[in-house]
């Protein structure tokens, strides 16, 4: 080896070390060692926050109920994220610009993905901190706890003196294939993904005091599919008592959960595609993942075609893997009276972002082309086109471009308003707080606006780390982050999001509809889009 080569290696090593020192990171054999019921784990300390990744909270055979993880001897290293769920459609190509904005981390897939991560200010001071239990998005088919840089819990834990927990769990066909007709061990297979979340919450109940957390003050929060999972947990009798507050971010949808009739029809198609029947069904537990994936995708396509042929509304995205009313894990639909009664004592914060998926960027309409916008509105709303434009302008009086008329979200917002209305109307029920995130990103000339996921860097106070999405840390983004992150922290602490850097946020009820509009200068007001949502719902 030449001296020049040796010098390069030494220089690279010293640079790496200096980067770690600059970040104030400590790790080693005897650093950040914590106890769990199944063995000891070793993490690291970064900027004063103890961090643990990839801790197993459960184990299971394919399509069977989660069981406690196997105990281990010695100290288990917990320095990197654990396996993520397999994707039904693996990512092969990504758009360079949008991938820069979102900056996904796809992780490495594996079926033993029942793992969680913990960020905490201390494991030795005896304090019992609020626990913020994060559930990732991606519908019920994709995503992971490491997918977006905004999910990192260090800043949230540090700024709020809270314990942050995030999880991976079974998804798609492995989390929702309904084999209940084929034996007792598959009794709950239609909702195994939900049982994984329950198992993770049970781990929190049994272990989080070892990480400085309070098992009697747990807030579940999630965005998009994660928000839908929050709703599902609130409707699960077996999860009752494992959490005490809930936050649903862009995850409320109108529409009923799947029925056993539909989920079993999907299973019949999967088995047919695999060449299996009742006598050979157990072979599905060992069939290679790729064969299972292909069979599952084909089955979902078949069922969607069948449902559409009968006139069944399958929604914007079509029927896909997700929770179903199975009479056991989920005995009633999510917003049925019985489910609402079960969760009546759970305070709820709920809201959406202004544009979600529906920016002109994704519709393919030039933002400043009035003719194209008018044509689109006429196709969508026909004789109500003029009424639609009038309603949008009333709800959003400060529109700047023609494209702004078709950018506002009308998919997630109606469900959030409906859920806030029914939840807040429960007699003697817990408080409801409604928000609307309207801050727009300046990146790439502002074309991404206030898009789906764009509130996440502010919730976790990771605006600097998510510069592709936020434009980086500056006076404006830092101001929004302080307002939003502080609200989430205080809600987790005591069920009330108010704090000294935010104007007063009143509770929501169906009459006053008081809503927090998050922006650089946030404001509170009544629901701004009643006429628009009414018009769209009748279209």
241-299 pLDDT, tens digit each: 999 999 999 999 877 889 999 999 999 999 999 999 999 999 999 999 999 999 999 99
Q: Report which of 117, 243, 253, 221 is spatially closest to residue 487, judged by C-alpha positions.
A: 221
Q: Please tell me which residue in 60, 150, 180, 224 is annotated as part of the active site.
A: 224
Could you give the domains of the chain? Answer: 25-249 (3.40.50.1820), 258-325 (no CATH), 353-537 (3.40.50.1820)
Asked whether the beta carbons of 523 and 517 are under 8 A apart, the reply is yes
Q: Which residue has the tokens 């066909």?
A: 173
Q: Please tell me which residue in 157, 450, 452, 522 is annotated as part of the active site.
A: 452
- List helix spans (H) across 208-309: 225-234, 260-274, 289-309
Q: Report which of 75, 152, 157, 85 is spatially closest to residue 115, judged by C-alpha positions.
A: 85
102-158 pLDDT, tens digit each: 999 999 999 999 999 999 999 999 999 999 999 999 999 999 999 999 999 999 999
- Cβ neighbour number for residue 81 with a 10 Å cutoff: 19
- Residue-level pLDDT at 361: 65
Catalytic, 157? Answer no
Catalytic, 224? Answer yes
Q: Which residue has the tokens 């529906």?
A: 358
Q: Is 245 helix (H, G, I), strand (E, B) or coil?
A: strand
Catalytic, 531? Answer no
Asked whether the beta carbons of 216 and 206 are under 8 A apart, the reply is no
Dihedral of the CA atoms 117, 121, 124, 130 (nearest 10)? -80
Residue 300 CA to residue 258 CA, distance in Å, equals 13
158-189 pLDDT, tens digit each: 999 999 999 999 999 999 999 999 999 999 99
Alpha carbon of 497 to those of 258, 448, 536: distances in Å?
A: 34, 28, 31
Q: What share of the chain is helix, strand, coil (3-state, %, to 5)?
A: 40, 15, 45
Adjacency order of strands within the sheet including 432-437: 25-26, 44-46, 49-56, 115-120, 163-167, 129-135, 213-223, 245-249, 348-353, 432-437, 515-518, 523-525
pLDDT-flagged residues of the chain (< 50): 1, 3-22
Q: Please tell me which residue in 356, 438, 455, 465 is annotated as part of the active site.
A: 356
């Amino acid at each position: 080896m030449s001296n020049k080569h040796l010098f390069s290696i030494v220089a690279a090593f010293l640079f790496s070390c200096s980067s770690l020192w600059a970040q104030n990171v400590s790790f080693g054999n005897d650093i950040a060692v914590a106890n769990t019921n199944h063995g000891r784990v070793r993490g690291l300390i970064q900027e004063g926050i103890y961090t643990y990744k990839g801790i197993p909270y459960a184990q299971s055979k394919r399509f069977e109920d989660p069981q406690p993880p196997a105990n281990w001897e010695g100290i288990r290293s917990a320095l990197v994220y654990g396996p993520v769920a397999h994707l039904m459609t693996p990512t092969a190509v990504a758009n360079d610009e949008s991938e820069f904005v979102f900056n996904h981390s796809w992780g490495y897939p594996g079926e033993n993905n029942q793992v969680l991560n913990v960020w905490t200010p201390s494991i030795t001071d005896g304090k019992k901190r609020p626990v913020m239990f994060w559930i990732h998005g991606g519908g019920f088919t994709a995503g992971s706890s490491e997918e977006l840089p905004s999910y990192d819990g260090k800043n949230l834990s540090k700024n709020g003196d809270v314990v942050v927990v995030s999880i991976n769990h079974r998804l798609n066909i492995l989390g929702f294939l309904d084999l209940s007709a084929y034996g007792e061990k598959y009794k709950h297979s239609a909702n195994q993904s939900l049982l994984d979340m329950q198992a993770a919450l049970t781990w929190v109940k049994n272990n989080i005091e070892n990480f400085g957390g309070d098992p009697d003050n747990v807030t579940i929060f999630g965005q998009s599919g994660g928000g839908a999972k929050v709703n599902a947990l609130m409707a699960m009798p077996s999860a009752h008592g494992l959490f005490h507050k809930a936050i649903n971010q862009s995850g409320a949808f109108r529409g009923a959960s799947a029925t056993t009739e539909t989920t079993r029809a999907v299973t019949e198609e999967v088995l047919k595609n695999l060449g299996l029947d009742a006598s050979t069904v157990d072979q599905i537990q060992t069939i290679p993942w790729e064969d299972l994936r292909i069979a599952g995708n084909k089955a979902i396509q078949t069922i969607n075609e069948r449902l559409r042929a009968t006139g069944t509304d399958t929604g914007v995205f079509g029927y896909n893997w997700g929770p179903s009313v199975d009479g056991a894990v989920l005995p009633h639909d999510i917003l049925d009276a019985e489910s609402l009664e079960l969760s009546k004592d759970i305070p709820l914060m709920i809201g959406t972002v202004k544009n979600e998926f529906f920016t002109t960027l994704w519709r393919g309409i030039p933002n400043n082309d009035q003719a194209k916008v008018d044509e689109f509105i006429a196709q969508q709303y026909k004789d109500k086109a003029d009424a639609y434009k009038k309603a949008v302008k009333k709800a959003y009086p400060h529109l700047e471009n023609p494209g702004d008329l078709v950018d506002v979200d009308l998919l997630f917002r109606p469900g959030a308003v409906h859920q806030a209305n029914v939840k807040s109307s429960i007699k003697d029920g817990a408080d409801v707080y409604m928000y609307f995130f309207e801050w727009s990103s300046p990146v790439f000339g502002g074309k991404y606006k206030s898009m789906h996921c764009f509130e996440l860097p502010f919730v976790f106070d990771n605006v600097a780390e998510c510069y592709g999405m936020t434009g980086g840390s500056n006076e404006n983004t830092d101001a929004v982050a302080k307002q939003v992150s502080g609200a989430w922290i205080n809600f987790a602490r005591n069920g009330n999001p108010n704090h000294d850097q935010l104007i007063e946020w009143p509770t929501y009820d169906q009459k006053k509809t008081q809503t927090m509009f998050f922006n650089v200068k946030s404001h509170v007001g009544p629901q701004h889009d009643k006429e628009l949502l009414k018009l769209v719902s009748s279209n």
